[in-house]
Amino acid sequence: MLLAMSVMKLLDSILGNATGIFTVVIVLIAVLFNYFDDPDPVKYNSMAEDTKTLEENFRQQNKSCFILGASGETGRMLLQDLLGRNIFSKITLIGRRTLTFEDKANENLVQEVVDFEKLEDYAASFQGHDIGYCCLGTTKAKAGTEGFIRVDHDYVLKSAELAKAGGCAQFHLESSRGADKNSNFLYLKVKGQVEEEIEALGFDRFAIYRPGVLLVDRQESRPAEWLARKFFGAVSAVCSTAMSIPIQAVAKAMVSNTLLQPEQKTEILENKDIASLGKGAGQ
């Protein structure tokens, strides 16, 4: 009995020390990330006007939109937020398959099924929309190098081209923190390239969102992604960081930013900008 109690005390001591060490490590890492964090956002600290007023004014403009990638994590959240705010007279989902929903709020959605390998044949699906949201994306691990480039570059760019030709005035693109056409990392290079090429199309407004690690429990979760999300989730609990963000905040920021009048045609929202716009918006 005494031996068992001694063992229990020893284990409790070890676990206590391990927890303490882990906490200290997280705090130190959070401080380090904070040092390299994005500059404090200036334009997007808060909604300059009352959110409800902005939504009502926008609603009266009777605009329509389309969403690419509504079956993905961000796309689903984006659709949910748009339906909740009810600011568009028509929402069209463009994807490779018809999505099924249980919620009656989705009954009035229009769905266009396209073959992304032959998008030119589906130009009509991209016509007649005022605003486009693109949340398309995959990974090299899931699709291979060629598949990743085809989805994140070719599909995205061609969709933007068809949308512009179809009269779309605004294009909102979910990209990635660190996107850079000159990057040595394929993922960031492709993201940077497609940003630049879409900007060259000349939309009246082009908004680029560059979130960090998306904090979400994916339906298809790989061990490395799970570990990264748990790690950055712990860091975010200690302090705000440019390295991660809840996926709900990204979706809310995209909708909230749609309501605002930008100072320039092309705008890049880094992680802190997205967090500021997405915090409590639309609630």
Beta bridge partners of 134: 68, 173
Largest Cα separation within the chain, whole Å, is 80
What pairs with residue 234 in β-bridges? none
Does position 184 have pLDDT exceeding 90, yes or no?
yes
Classify the C-alpha dihedral 192-223-230-71 as positive or negative. positive
279 pLDDT tier (thresholds 50, 70, 90): confident
pLDDT of residue 280: 57
Give the Cα separation of 269 and 35 in Å (integer).
Answer: 19
Q: What's the length of the chain?
A: 283
Q: Are 69 and 137 in contact (CB under 8 A)?
A: yes
- How far is it, in rounded angstroms, from Cα 88 to Cα 128? 13
Please tell me the predicted confidence (pLDDT) of residue 12: 53
Name the pTM for this structure.
0.79
Model pLDDT, residue 18: 44
pLDDT tens by residue, 78-136:
999 999 999 999 999 999 999 998 877 787 799 999 999 999 999 999 999 999 999 99
Percent of the chain whose pLDDT exceeds 70? 72
> Residue 45 above 80 pLDDT?
no
10-24 per-position pLDDT tens digit: 545 554 554 444 333
Q: What is the C-alpha separation between 283 and 278, in angstroms, rounded? A: 10
137-146, 198-207, 236-245 — which is least confidently predicted? 236-245
Give the pLDDT score at 38. Answer: 57
Which pLDDT score is estimated for 76?
Answer: 95
Q: Which fold has domain 63-280?
A: Rossmann fold (3.40.50)
Q: How far is the C-alpha of 136 from the C-alpha of 140, rounded, in Å?
A: 14
* Segment 230-249 mean pLDDT: 64
Question: Does the annotation count 191 as an active-site position?
Answer: yes
**Rounded CA separation 168/64 (Å):** 10
Asked if 77 and 251 touch (Cβ cutoff 8 Å), the reply is yes
DSSP string, 108-120: T-EEEE--GGGGG
Q: Which band of pLDDT confidence, cut at 50, 70 and 90, is reported for residue 261? A: confident
Name the phi and psi angles at 69, rounded to 5.
90, 30
Strand partners, 91: 65
pLDDT at site 17: 52
Positive or negative: CA dihedral 120, 126, 127, 130: negative
For the chain, domain boundaries: 63-280
Mean pLDDT within 204-208: 98
Question: Can you tell me which residue has the tokens 């961000």?
Answer: 74
Tokens at 99, concatenated: 């999505």
Catalytic site residue from 191, 209, 252, 272: 191
Q: Catalytic annotation on 187? A: yes
- Give the active site residue among 43, 181, 187, 189: 187
CA distance 75 to 130: 18
CA–CA distances in Å: residue 28 to residues 24, 46, 235, 238, 240: 6, 29, 9, 10, 13
Of 42, 23, 36, nearest to 263 by C-alpha is 42
